[in-house]
């Protein structure tokens, strides 16, 4: 059932079965005029049932309801196409919405992600399964949504709230958070999470999402926040302490990559196999294919971050990208 986490602002905890995230927080602001739903859960019946029941118990009239996805991932936008009405306005960060519109090729094993993964040492035999089981492929909203692009500084007045869009690239390029300065309230999407660390990953050499992420953490640490409402799990007790912990976590992970490379030069996939991960499995080979996929994407983000700081470099050997650390350095 919805929990009122601030005046007329409710959290509906939507389950994500068979997913390590376990659940997603959908936030609903009700008002006598328009309502706003921020993030929805995946496009699957288990999510739909809970979200619809929650909205119903709040007497939310979907004809008077708009939607914001903090970013493009399926657990955040999946149910928008199911719940929206012809009068709904649908918003997403301006850098995320185009990739959502143009992703015909994304889920082919020969598309840009599959190709990059293969060159990173990801087993070719597992590529097809990675695409077919990827939540983005299985559980996204239908593709015909006409998103309105959000930009830094855009504002929404909903009920008693005045929400400002804060660009927070890192978890995705177009990730946005929402900030209400008067209420010192921050809706953090997957930028700041309490019980788990946001996945920072890439399948492209054109981006340095970890550097973006650390800069975005620094950026939001300047805001006055009393209440932080994250996209997953429990509300965050100490916003600033959590930002410090997340920054430190990624520095340690980057150092772990450098330490692993002392064992020899290797691909991102082989580095990922040697990293410590918090999932319960006997060995790397026992990881479900999707967990190996996300772990490899996260490792790639870390090696690119280190490469851009000249702490390691790459060589391409027969279409396989191999990393070598510069010297025995640490961040
Ligand atoms: Zn996400």
Residues 58-108: tens digit of each pLDDT? 999 999 999 999 999 999 999 999 999 999 999 999 999 876 665 667 888
Give distance in angstroms: CA of 71 to centre of ligand 1. Answer: 7
DSSP character string of 50-96: HHHHHHHHTT--GGGEEEEESSS-HHHHTTHHHH--TT--EEEETTT
Query: Tell me, what's the pLDDT at 99?
Result: 64
Query: Tell me, what's the pLDDT at 281?
Result: 79
Q: What are phi and psi of 248, to 5 degrees?
A: -65, -40
Same domain, 93 and 124: no
Distance set, CA 272 to CA 22, 265, 285 (Å): 23, 13, 11
Query: Tell me, what's the pLDDT at 45?
Result: 97
Give distance in angstroms: CA of 262 to centre of ligand 1. Answer: 32
Q: How many domains does the chain have?
A: 2
Give distance in angstroms: CA of 97 to centre of ligand 1. Answer: 14
Domain ranges, residue 81: 3-104+142-237
For the chain, residues with pLDDT lower than 50 are none
> Where is the domain boundary, 237, 265, 300?
237
Instruction: Report the 10 Å Cβ neighbour count for 195.
Output: 11
SS3 196: coil
Same domain, 219 and 257: no
CATH number at residue 312: 1.10.10
Structure tokens at 28: 């609903």
Same domain, 57 and 94: yes
Q: What is the pTM of this model?
A: 0.95
Q: What are phi and psi of 131, to 5 degrees?
A: -75, -45
Same domain, 265 and 222: no
Query: Tell me, what's the pLDDT at 258?
Result: 95
Same domain, 227 and 278: no
Give distance in angstroms: CA of 327 to centre of ligand 1. Answer: 34
Query: Tell me, what's the pLDDT at 279?
Result: 77
């Amino acid at each position: 059932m919805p929990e009122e986490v601030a005046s007329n602002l409710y959290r509906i905890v939507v389950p994500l079965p068979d997913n390590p995230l376990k659940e997603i927080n959908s936030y609903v602001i009700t008002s006598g005029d328009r309502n706003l739903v921020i993030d929805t859960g995946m496009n699957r019946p288990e999510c739909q049932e809970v979200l619809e029941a929650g909205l119903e118990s709040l007497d939310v009239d979907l004809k008077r309801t708009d939607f914001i996805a903090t970013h493009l991932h399926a657990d955040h936008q999946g149910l928008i196409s199911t719940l929206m009405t012809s009068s709904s306005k649908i918003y997403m960060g301006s850098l995320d919405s185009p990739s959502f519109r143009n992703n015909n090729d994304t889920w082919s094993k020969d598309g840009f992600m599959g190709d990059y993964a293969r060159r990173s040492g990801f087993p070719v035999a597992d590529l097809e399964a990675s695409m077919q089981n990827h939540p983005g492929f299985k559980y996204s909203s239908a593709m015909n949504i006409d998103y309105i692009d959000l930009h830094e500084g855009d504002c929404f007045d909903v009920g008693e709230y005045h929400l400002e869009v804060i660009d927070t690239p890192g978890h995705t390029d177009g990730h946005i958070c929402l900030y209400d300065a008067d209420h010192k309230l921050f809706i953090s999407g997957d930028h700041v999470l309490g019980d788990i660390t946001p996945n920072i990953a890439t399948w492209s050499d054109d981006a340095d999402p970890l550097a973006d992420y650390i800069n975005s953490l620094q950026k939001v640490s300047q805001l006055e926040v009393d209440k932080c409402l994250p996209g997953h799990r429990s509300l965050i007790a100490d916003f600033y302490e959590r930002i410090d912990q997340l920054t430190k976590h990624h520095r340690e992970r980057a150092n772990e990559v450098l330490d692993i490379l002392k064992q020899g030069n290797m691909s991102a996939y082989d580095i990922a196999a040697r990293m410590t991960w918090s999932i319960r499995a006997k060995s790397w080979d026992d990881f479900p294919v999707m967990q190996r996929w996300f772990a490899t994407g996260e490792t790639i983000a870390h090696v690119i971050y280190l490469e851009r700081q000249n702490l390691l470099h790459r060589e391409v050997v027969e279409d396989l990208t191999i990393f070598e650390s510069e010297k025995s350095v640490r961040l």
